[in-house]
Amino acid sequence: MTETTSGTAPAIPPSLPSATVPPAAASTGPPALSALATFDQSLRALAAHASGGVSAYSMASAWLDWAWHMTIAPGRRIEIALEAARELANLSQPVVAGGPDEASPVDHRFVDPGWQNQPFRAWRDGFLAAERIVAKSTEPVPGMQPGNARRVGFMMRQAMAIASPAHWPATNPEVLRKTRVENGANLVRGAKALKDELVRSASGETAAATIRVGIDTAATPGTVVYRNALMELIQYAPATAEVRREPVLIVPAWIMKYYILDLAPDRSLIRHLVQQGHTVFVMSWKNPTAEDRDNVFDDYRRRGLLEALQVVEAIVPDTPVHACGYCLGGTMLAIAAAVAAREGKSPFASVTLLAAQVDFSEAGELMMFIDESQVTALEDLMWGQGVLQTDQMGAAFRSLRSDDLVWAQAIKAYWLGEQALESDLTAWNADQTRLPYRMHSEYLRGLFLENRLTAGRFAVDGATVALKDIRCPLFVVGTETDHIAPWRSVYKIQLFTDAETTFVLTSGGHNAGIVSEPGHRNRRHRIATRRPGEPYVSPDAWIAHHEPRAGSWWPEWFGWLAERGSETLVAPPAIGAPDKGYPALMPAPGTYVFGR
């Protein structure tokens, strides 16, 4: 048992950044009261572990809220009944007459040609009609809490997925056809795959990867030039005889391994940057364990970004840095840039934010999991464990896209007996990380739950952080189908800054939209720059006035960086700065990237 679970840690999780509230502030009071509070939290931690960190109260209260307001809305109930009658009337026509299949919308779950034949077409159309009726019935009711409306709709979509004819072998024409052709061999392979997965899950093992970190991915030549208890800093070897004066420092999210930006060589954003003549540094975060439970949010700024900047300054002195933050790393980078500007410092030539939010009022479907009871349940779970485990975090993300990430994969693996081909992106996605207890508690409360950063209530070093203090140019990328950082939420940084801002909206999701190398098929993007002093344009008006361009957004960024740097090229800097205490430690990708 760790020290914190034995009663010496604060009984109540800290809710404010450590820079503004001393760690001991949460554990004041008589010893007897603290012991009783610790006892209560221990019980809550057991309950949270049993539920996987899900608050039963949050789920139950959402249903109660919906049921109560539906009870006093007979007009809404009549409206739903009329909608159901219309759906049934529409269903009867193609089913009875066997006419053209025009009533059912195109749906990726039903693309197999077998769904055009009876009785599969009837099952499909009936299910889609039921799905529309359920969606209608779970729309917000006047007086209902918006968060509860989203939660009820989410739970009903999960329940409807169980009933989908596409998800059961007896009603799926593709599964039946393959079973007939292979005389059931597909089911045998699927059963073996399920057994192997259950054994791995029980033993805590992971599937053997054929794509190797440091060889097939994370393979851009480089050197670890600094290491502390939180991160390693990698400096990449130059690929050109001369380089651009300003280096690029990449700040990935500590919720992911950094090599999402250094996948296979042709898909590596880092390699492309080096080939463009940039001196590139990247931070590789340590995968935290229970021993890191007391890492706070501001540690990632102070011991992470600020120490990385010190090393870069030693290697490339007297030169501003192009900083690039991805996801949570971008949120922290925006905070750091505002703090630096407040202190009269200007370490950044520019700031690039990839799928990163600063305002969380419209933070997408993840907000369904965020209220006081749910955050407390997660805090209790992490208090007992020291970290949020990868499987607990991954389950929440998979549930947001259960049709694609749960059901579709299960059908292929267990019913069709098809082994998914491993790619660099899927291998990276399986290489997950944990989150430390205190940091994640502060992040959920301070940013998601209370949205303090843009409300003017987020403090660092005793002073409020104001994003409008940022003066360097911003390059902000949102992705069209992002479930984690919706592009309209990413776009909102323009409400809180006065700096020149180039906004890019690219096709794809949170990861695939960012990994969008030149030559990638079917990629498109929109781009526009807002100059200081120009009026704010709403996201809907912005997208209406900017037509998509074919191709990757990467060349746009490369050109943008070149325009905001020195025109004169210089000789590449040395690897590390041994005379200043930063020697070359080992070849990239270092050690932290292998942390399990």
Is 389 within the bounds of a domain?
Answer: no
User: Residues 102, 166: one domain?
Assistant: yes
Per-residue pLDDT of 28-80, as tens digits, reads 333 445 788 878 878 877 877 777 777 888 889 999 999 999 999 999 999 99
- What confidence category does residue 94 fall into, taking pLDDT thresholds of 50, 70 and 90? low
Is 445 within the bounds of a domain?
Answer: no
CATH of the domain at 304: 3.40.50.1820
Q: How many residues does the chain have?
A: 596
pLDDT at 366 over 70: yes
Higher pLDDT, 107 or 464: 464
Domain range spanning residue 122? 58-180
User: Residues 165, 244: one domain?
Assistant: no
**Looking at residues 554-578, what average pLDDT do you find?**
96
User: Residues 163, 231: one domain?
Assistant: no
Secondary structure class of 349 (helix, strand, coil): strand
In the prediction, which pLDDT does 208 show? 63
Q: Which of 126, 155, 180 is the last residue of a domain?
A: 180
Q: Which of 150, 180, 210 is the last residue of a domain?
A: 180
In the prediction, which pLDDT does 15 show? 36
In the prediction, which pLDDT does 390 show? 77
* CB contact at 8 A, 459 and 19: yes
pLDDT at 574 over 60: yes
Per-residue pLDDT of 110-129, as tens digits, reads 999 999 999 999 999 999 99
In the prediction, which pLDDT does 130 show? 94
Is 95 within the bounds of a domain?
Answer: yes
Distance CA 26, CA 18 (A): 11
User: Residues 91, 176: one domain?
Assistant: yes
Per-residue pLDDT of 207-217, as tens digits, reads 667 889 999 99
User: Residues 171, 230: one domain?
Assistant: no
In the prediction, which pLDDT does 482 show? 93
User: Residues 484, 555: one domain?
Assistant: yes
pLDDT at 446 over 90: yes
Higher pLDDT, 373 or 30: 373
* CB contact at 8 A, 227 and 584: no
User: Residues 352, 483: one domain?
Assistant: yes
User: Residues 176, 234: one domain?
Assistant: no
pLDDT at 351 over 60: yes
Is 355 within the bounds of a domain?
Answer: yes
User: Residues 558, 464: one domain?
Assistant: yes
pLDDT at 319 over 70: yes
Q: Which of 52-61, 220-229, 311-320, 434-443 has the lowest mean pLDDT?
A: 52-61
In the prediction, which pLDDT does 397 show? 67
Distance CA 338, CA 346 (A): 10
Rounded mean pLDDT of the chain? 88
Does 324 qualify as catalytic in the annotation? no
pLDDT at 26 over 60: no
Q: Which of 327, 341, 465, 543 is catalytic?
A: 327
**Looking at residues 155-168, what average pLDDT do you find?**
91
Q: Which of 36-50, 189-203, 461-475 has the lowest mean pLDDT?
A: 36-50
- What confidence category does residue 395 fall into, taking pLDDT thresholds of 50, 70 and 90? low
Report the helix count and the strand count for the chain, using DSSP H and E: 21, 17
User: Residues 137, 267: one domain?
Assistant: no
In the prediction, which pLDDT does 12 show? 31
pLDDT at 403 over 80: no
Crossing angle, helix 173-181 and helix 185-203, to 10 degrees?
110
* Alpha helices per DSSP H over 355-445: 372-385, 390-400, 402, 408-410, 424-430, 437-443
In the prediction, which pLDDT does 7 show? 35
- What confidence category does residue 246 fall into, taking pLDDT thresholds of 50, 70 and 90? very high
> Backbone phi, then psi, for 34, in 5-degree steps?
-60, -40
Is 193 within the bounds of a domain?
Answer: no
In the prediction, which pLDDT does 104 show? 46
Secondary structure class of 12 (helix, strand, coil): coil
Two structure tokens written together for 149: 């409306």
Quickly tell me which residue has 């195109």 as its tokens. Answer: 106
In the prediction, which pLDDT does 419 show? 85
**Looking at residues 567-591, what average pLDDT do you find?**
97
In the prediction, which pLDDT does 371 show? 84
User: Residues 169, 230: one domain?
Assistant: no
Is 374 within the bounds of a domain?
Answer: no
Is 376 within the bounds of a domain?
Answer: no
Higher pLDDT, 42 or 19: 42
Distance CA 583, CA 284 (A): 17
**Looking at residues 467-494, what average pLDDT do you find?**
96
**Total structural domains in the chain?**
2
Is 67 within the bounds of a domain?
Answer: yes
User: Residues 478, 534: one domain?
Assistant: yes
- What confidence category does residue 204 fall into, taking pLDDT thresholds of 50, 70 and 90? low
**Looking at residues 227-253, what average pLDDT do you find?**
97
**Looking at residues 22-28, what average pLDDT do you find?**
36
Higher pLDDT, 528 or 409: 528
Beta bridge mates, 321: 348
**Looking at residues 581-594, what average pLDDT do you find?**
97
In 3-state terms, the chain is what percent helix, strand and coil (to 5)? 50, 10, 35
* Alpha helices per DSSP H over 98-224: 120-137, 146-163, 173-181, 185-203
Q: Which of 121-130, 419-428, 492-501 has the lowest mean pLDDT?
A: 419-428
pLDDT at 520 over 70: yes
State percent of the chain over pLDDT 90.
Answer: 68
Higher pLDDT, 201 or 492: 492
> β-pairing, 524-530 with 549-550?
antiparallel
Helix (H) or strand (E) run with residue 93 in it: helix 74-97
In the prediction, which pLDDT does 488 show? 96
Higher pLDDT, 74 or 200: 74
Q: Which of 180, 211, 235 is the last residue of a domain?
A: 180
**Looking at residues 235-240, what average pLDDT do you find?**
98
